[in-house]
Amino acid sequence: MRDSAVTGMAALRYLSATVELLAATLMLRSGRVGTAVSINAVLGLFGPTMFVVVSAVGIWGLAQGNQVHWARLALIFTGVLMVVYGSTR
């Protein structure tokens, strides 16, 4: 039986991939650089948000299963925040 956190993480990644493919299709259909740049800007916000959400689901799953000590969970969460911070600078 699969862990519900793993199922949730995979479902969110499928959603993310679907949004990315939809955005690429919209860029091609628009045929305009300005529109493509606007769509890409939205994706620039969407990607890190999905990263944080999927990571949060994974961390929640680890915490629920008591598989990882709370200090290690804090380090993982700090690492996720540092990746997001680094990607915005």
DSSP three-state, residue 84? helix
Q: Is the pLDDT of residue 88 over 70?
A: no
Residues in the chain: 89
Tens digits of per-residue pLDDT, 42-69?
898 888 889 889 988 988 888 887 777 8
pLDDT at position 49 is 87
Q: Is the pLDDT of residue 1 over 60?
A: no
Q: Model pTM?
A: 0.75
Tens digits of per-residue pLDDT, 11-43?
999 999 999 999 999 999 999 999 999 999 889
Q: Rounded to an integer, what distance in angstroms lies between the CA atom of residue 5 and that of residue 11?
A: 10
Q: Which two tokens stand for residue 72?
A: 């290690």
